[in-house]
Amino acid sequence: MHSDKMVLLDDTLLARGFTYVNRNRIKGPKGEVWISVPLKRKGRGRQKIKDLELYEKERWAKDFLLTLYHFYVKSIYFFPVFEKIKSTVEAQDEKFLYLILKLLKVVTEEFEIEREFTLQSEVGIKEKGTALLVSLAKELNAKEVLLPYFSDKAIDCEEFKKENIKIFLLRYEPPQYPQFWGTFLRKLSVLDLLFCMGKEGKQIIKKGSYLYEL
């Protein structure tokens, strides 16, 4: 919502240990519920995100859809969104990236967000760390980059300044919105917001977003 073009780093390695790349939280009667997309890992070593494939996709898709149905079916916004998600996760393609791109499309269409997604692999930049981000910005003729809050702790900001590229940080602190199942939980998957608020969820995102220039 706050960028002209979103670059997905699909040509980078999946992080070791805990990562949000293939998991997130929704909400159930007993609180937060972790949803993980199982990935094929055995004998594959470390994989780039663009090469990831789903493990036992049909079983996972069935469990995932039943979970969404069980927790959110009472929502007045449920069925139109659920049908789009259902058609996506039941598709035959086992590529993880395909699933992500299709689900992102569902979310952006529902929130009426017209932004362009670009894949790192399409741009062809294969560097690492700050050099990767700077090279991507230069290749795309960007004068400004928008990064998650606290990113300045992990990158060399001077490398951007050398190229006259401004850095903005985005902090998201979601205000409370009506949720199912009792006490409000912060920073859940966007699916919770979508099922609870429908298209009005876009205004919640706007209210909770804060931009800072470095």
Q: Which tokens is 113 given?
A: 């967000």
Rounded-to-integer distance, Cα 154 and Cα 169, Å: 13
Sequence-distant (6+) residues with CB within 8 A of 41 are 47, 55
In contact, 40 and 55? CB cutoff 8 Å:
yes
How far apart CA 212 and CA 146 sit, in angstroms, is 9
With pLDDT > 90 as the criterion, what percentage of the chain qualifies? 92
Q: Which of 112, 105, 141, 125 is nearest to 5 (CA)?
A: 141
- Give residue-wise pLDDT tens across range 6-36: 999 999 999 988 899 999 999 999 999 999 9
Please tell me the distance from the alpha carbon of residue 15 to that of residue 137, in angstroms, as a whole number: 23
Angle, nearest 10°, between helix axes 96-110 and 78-89? 160
pLDDT per residue as tens digits for the range 54-87: 999 999 999 999 999 999 999 999 999 999 999 9
Helix (H, G, I), strand (E, B) or coil at 202: helix
Contact 101, 117 (CB under 8 A): yes
Beta bridge partners of 133: none
pTM of the full predicted structure?
0.92
CA distance 96 to 124: 20
Beta partners for residue 211, in sequence order: 170
Cβ atoms of 63 and 29 closer than 8 Å = no
User: What pLDDT score was predicted for residue 92?
Assistant: 82
Q: Return the pLDDT at 172.
A: 94
pLDDT score of 164: 97
What pLDDT shows up at residue 191?
97
Reference 24, options 136, 171, 187; nearest CA is 187
pLDDT of residue 204: 96
CB atoms within 10 A of CB 27: 23
- Per-residue pLDDT tens for 125-180? 999 999 999 999 999 999 999 999 999 899 999 999 999 999 999 999 989 999 99
Three-state SS letters, 144-171: EEEEECCHHHCCCHHHHHHCCCEEEEEE
